[in-house]
A and B are shown apart, each in its own frame.
Chain A
């Protein structure tokens, strides 16, 4: 039986195109200090540091956890570096949780970051050899296949983009704040990778996110002190090869298996109704209905209808990405951890203007590479939210 694990601290930077005011160390420290303050802890309380980020070639610093060890109070402690492509932020939280659940440590700091302005992501994605499609180019065929398969009308993508950008206006840390966002504005923005238009795409951000995790005793102490923890009901990861005959990249088996492994742990049989909100990794608008279906929150072919009926909007019956999501802030390595952290804050009741009323159970997800790496967790306001 593994140890119950709680999130008791969350911190993040203000995400921007260029954080020229801080070094790598300054950036990660900003998020980490905020998470420690939120957890009412100091560096001395942290027993291990788990660092995640996307490819090192994005910034040109190899294995940066070596250098960042100092800034994160890592000297004399275990410092661990996770890298599972775009899902890495989620995987970082999960590996950190494993250190608690296995009783190896009692208080762990999970931190993920990206400082995209230090390099050229498009160049790095092609391993410096040029001719990179970029992430949008890689995912566009999957999104087209979804549209063809589901018969979804083209305005669905625009609606997701408008919703997430409106949500971002409520998020003090969000990178993109487009006050006059509208369906017309999205629709008229330049086509990037058909069907994805400019305003349906994620930005390139500098930013970091940090989460403090602790055991059952730590979680209970925080609760007793009036600082509600987010209890982890389950974590799951899955990987599958990115290309082989018969693979379905629109509804990857890994996405399905990961979700059901998670639901089983959390005691969820009806995700659509037992989960109150979700933070899903949606770097391009169409991925919202795609993940709603691949994770069996919506029936096959019904995900886009949830979007069309505004059910995924703040105030809807199943809010998705109330933070503005990856569409509004994309420090790549941190983008996954931001999903996990925002979901935790929702069940802690600490999401401010983004708060979903009565959120008790929240889902977070991140995916990576050729839609083949998945990391998910479910957090709740108590260890037995379903009675």
Chain B
């Protein structure tokens, strides 16, 4: 982990997350980016580097990200990059780029319109094309296998899963960007039918359209642009073996390794808030255990991915929400997590902190 350049999040923006919008993806990005640069108090032209995260399969078009640069204001031409990954990884690329120290600001986005397609038909196409994709297992099916492994190992209960779902949707009532909110009774949730045994409807994320944008800056610039920047104290990501059958599904080793590489002291109990990309209720329980987070750490006060799941932006929203806890809510140290692939194959952990 290099210690040279200090980098912080200074501003964020996001669209309301909705089941379906008729806005185009560049339209969503225009809103999110507009908010972010306005909060930062910079123009699009002043941004030194941009990096976007999006996915052609989600958008339903080849080169879909090319249209998105219209929302960046990439004129004069910009230092710009794009990852076919969640915006959280675009954030990672921007962090790496800012470490060079020759530029001062970066704008990162994540965007997706899952409503344009049927995720259960699209997602099997991200699996090994020879042995796994032909099975047609959708994300809910794969998640159910992981939930079953956790239940059978005695590490979680269906009641705990329902409690996660109820809590997420309850706190989401305070989040104007969330999509699924309300008061749900755990007993009633547990009485409902399975969608994919052992997952019930409440254990699943919604289908969401939305975009998120984050502005980063190097040390002096960050202090100039933001009263209380959210400093990136560490960030790292790890991949694991692709085939879920070859992994211990009752642990998220990659998440823990990423957190350690990002400098998290698992015994310090230092995290005030963790925003975890847990699209399925059991994933929150698993991630919490894998990271060794105690009861002290508040998990997903935004409602998390169970309240809004704009795929390709969901992870970046976690980073933005973790940053807000420092910038706006006076918290000291927060953690954001993002994931990609079947049963949490790839995981990214970003640790943010306030500094005097």
Contact = CB atoms under 8 A, between A and B. Distances in A.
B194 interface: no
Contact of A76 (B74, B97, B240): B240
Nearest to B78: A239
A95 B102 CA distance: 16
B84 A66 contact: no
Contacts of B96: 95, 98-99, 102, 104
23 contacts: A1-B101, A24-B129, A58-B62, A61-B129, A62-B56, A63-B85, A66-B345, A69-B242, A76-B254, A77-B238, A77-B239, A82-B83, A85-B63, A98-B100, A102-B100, A126-B62, A236-B79, A239-B69, A239-B77, A242-B66, A253-B76, A369-B63, A372-B69
Contacts of A11: none
Given A63-B85, A127-B60, A372-B66, A238 B79 contact: yes
Contacts of B242: 66-67, 69-70
Contact of A238 (B78, B99, B129, B341): B78
Contacts of A81: 83-85, 89
A370 B82 CA distance: 16
A57 B56 contact: yes
B36 interface: no
Interface residues of B, number: 61
B241 A80 contact: no
Contacts of B65: 83
Interface string B230-266: 0000001111111100000000001001000000000
A130 to B, nearest CB: 13
A4 to B, nearest CB: 12
Interface string A76-114: 111111111100000100010011011110000000000
Contacts of B75: 240-241, 244
Contacts of A60: 125, 129
B125 A62 contact: yes
Contacts of A95: 81, 93, 96
B46 to A, nearest CB: 16
Contacts of B63: 55, 85, 125, 369
Interface string A117-133: 00000001111000000
Interface string A32-60: 00000000000000000000000111111
A2 B97 CA distance: 10
Contact of A61 (B74, B93, B126, B340): B126
A296 interface: no
B78 A240 contact: yes
A59 B57 CA distance: 12
For chain A, which range describes its interface: under 10, 10 to 19, 20 to 34, or 35 or more residues? 35 or more
B80 A238 contact: yes
Contact of A370 (B57, B66, B340): B66
Contact of B239 (A75, A103, A369): A75
Interface string A256-280: 0110010000000000000000000
Contact of A80 (B85, B101, B123): B85
Interface string B36-59: 000000000000001000011100
Max chain B CB contacts within 10 Å: which of A67, A98, A124?
A: A67
Contacts of A64: 126, 129
Contacts of A283: none
8 tightest A-B CB contacts, nearest first: A254-B77, A102-B99, A239-B80, A240-B77, A79-B239, A103-B2, A83-B84, A62-B126
Contacts of B346: 66, 69, 79
Interface in A331-387: 369-370, 372-374
B174 interface: no
